[in-house]
A and B are shown apart, each in its own frame.
Chain A
Amino acid sequence: MAELNGLKIAEARDALRKGDVTSVELTEACLSAIEGAGALNAVVHKTPEIALEQARAADGRIKAGNAPDMCGIPLGIKDLFCTRGVASQAASKILDGFTPEYESTVTRKLFESGAVMLGKLNMDEFAMGSSNETSTYGNAVNPWKRGNDEAQLTPGGSSGGSASAVAADLCLAATGTDTGGSIRQPAAFTGITGIKPTYGRCSRWGIVAFASSLDQAGPMTKDVRDAAIMLEAMCGHDPMDSTSADLAVPDFEAMLTGDIKGKKIGIPREYHMDGMPEEIETLWAEGRRMLQAAGAEIVDISLPHTKYALPTYYVIAPAEASSNLARYDGVRYGRRAPLAQGDGITEMYEKTRAEGFGHEVQRRIMVGTYVLSAGFYDAYYNRARKVRTLIKKDFEDVFAQGVDAILTPATPSAAFGLGEMKEADPVQMYLNDVFTVTVNLAGLPGISVPAGTDRQGLPLGLQLIGRPWEEGDLLNCAYALEQAAGFVSKPAKWW
């Protein structure tokens, strides 16, 4: 057997059932891997006592029989999820010291199914970023490096800590959230699998809100089977989230047959971008060939409004963020800035928010404030909502033509170096999400699957986009792609 922390969920589940291993042993292996991985800065609040207590309970449950699949599986939890009694600060200084009195629905469901929490994971502040460089905890680091180059690379963002922790085997899997690509982009940068389900599949209750009409939670795992197993445990209707879908949750794992004969896969011509590295184009063509060889029918399609997805996103997401983040005022939770003699309530708000929010978060709140302000609401916000309708219609049209799934690159490049984008215009950083953001705007499920490496040995991912609520079918397509691509590389341990 591989090192215990290197196991996948399915392998661990089967080993636990057979009595070959205990959850306590798995958990201890992960905790010691975490202890040795400080250089990755992936785990920012460790919870070993909770983990061991949960693991002991899971072992009892497994012994008694009939334990759910996730029982005894050690996970990392993104810092965006509120976890009762454990620091949950969305990687922001403004939530320093915040300890929720409640549990997010997704983590509650995972823990009820017996999963074990190893700790909270690094991320971009309030999930705003594509490189994990906006975190109050400092950068999370990608376990992958460019050949023998010492330069530290980004694990992507915003779920950078989750991606780094899974890729480095600090946990068996992790939770992530995705507002514009925050699960899929870091998964692609670290050679792991990440799925964002259909909007409404996972309850948003207890997840710190960024842009409520776009946010969705999802699993980040070592392969597609694990994604199927963990997603099933995370989703389901929740009365606490009015946008949570009241739909039955299928047995996603049972749908992984690998048979995609006769499936129609669309290749959107608008996703060929100027200046895209040739390696990405090659990988995409390779993915097309692999799906075809597996029996799928490949069709060229058009999603004409693709080009407007990023600008639409950068109106809608900041607008919603400016409203959601109004709650951080230094009154009810988190930090309040020190006040001077005679400061009133307005000074308290202004100083608290200036001191507590990082630069990128401030910028987005202010852009959102501007596009929602009197005189600009129609020109920016309402127009963006109309374009969003058109972007969604692009997808509806191709699905109506019988397309089952859409194949695209996951990211326009491999992982870049930490600090390399420091001098760049914020818009340059936003381009990371060019292939993923359309999926959030249209509310669709999307999955990133590692499919190859670039010439420096860094992993590259392909994205499959599915029909709404058809995660099972999408996971099966991803499974076929995974089988064909045969990506098994792991980063060489340097940390």
Chain B
Amino acid sequence: MSIDQGTAAKVAKLARIRVDDADLPALAQEFNNILGFIEQLGEVDVEGVEPMVSVTPMRLKRRKDGVTDGGQQDKVLSNAPDAREGFFAVPKVVE
């Protein structure tokens, strides 16, 4: 499997990380090195093996479906780069 610049650009887009066109060839090369390393997994016979879901066999606990928290809008917003009138503010999304 070889990654070309187009694929590298697509991955960057999916990851929402801006990559300059000039940097795409180097990025594609890095992907290829890492994926080349990962390719070895193809040698392993995994027929009939279950993919791991949880490393410790445990049943996740259930808790009551109740409101246990809330009423702290100011704290929730205190670290926002841009908060206005009790909301997170972002650039215009809808025309």
Contacts and interface: CB of A to CB of B under 8 A. Distances in A.
B17 interface: yes
Given A99-B79, A334-B81, A345 B91 contact: yes
A461 to B, nearest CB: 24
Contact of B46 (A97, A245, A347, A383): A383
B46 A365 contact: no
A293 interface: no
Interface residues of A, number: 73
Given A331-B81, A468-B56, A354 B49 contact: no
Interface in B68-84: 72, 75-76, 78-82
Nearest to A363: B30
**Residue in B33, B44, B49 with the greatest tally of chain A CB atoms within 10 Å:** B44
B40 interface: yes
Nearest to A95: B79
A435 interface: no
B11 A366 contact: yes
Contact of B15 (A243, A333, A346, A353): A353
A304 B64 CA distance: 44
B17 A389 contact: no
Contacts of B49: 386-387, 389-390
A370 B41 contact: no
Nearest to B74: A101
A322 B52 contact: no
A300 to B, nearest CB: 23
Contacts, number: 168
A353 B92 contact: no
Contacts of B91: 339, 343-345, 347-348
Contact of A345 (B12, B79, B90): B90
Contact of B52 (A101, A354, A392): A392
A292 interface: no
A333 B75 CA distance: 11
Contacts of A348: 90-91
Given A311-B37, A387-B41, A390-B49, A353 B16 contact: yes
Given A322-B15, A345-B93, A353-B17, A386 B51 contact: yes
Interface string A310-343: 1110110000001000100111111110010001
A457 to B, nearest CB: 33
B22 interface: no
Contacts of B17: 350, 353-354, 357, 362, 365-366
A403 B3 CA distance: 44
Given A314-B38, A426-B30, A442 B55 contact: yes
Contacts of B56: 198-200, 243, 245, 443, 468
Contact of B34 (A314, A332, A343): A314
Contact of A336 (B39, B41, B52, B82): B82
Contacts of A441: 55
Contacts of B16: 326, 329, 346, 349-350, 353
A150 B46 CA distance: 50
Given A199-B55, A243-B56, A311-B40, A351 B18 contact: yes
**Residue in A305, A373, A382, A386 with the greatest tally of chain B CB atoms within 10 Å:** A386
B14 interface: yes
Given A200-B58, A345-B91, A333 B80 contact: yes
Interface string B1-24: 001000110011011111100000
A384 interface: yes
A239 B15 contact: no
A424 to B, nearest CB: 11
B53 to A, nearest CB: 8
A88 to B, nearest CB: 10
A367 interface: yes
A334 B37 contact: no
**Residue in B34, B37, B49, B75 with the greatest tally of chain A CB atoms within 10 Å:** B34
A301 B29 CA distance: 38
15 contacts: A101-B72, A311-B38, A314-B37, A322-B15, A333-B80, A334-B81, A350-B17, A366-B15, A367-B34, A383-B44, A384-B41, A386-B46, A386-B52, A389-B49, A426-B34
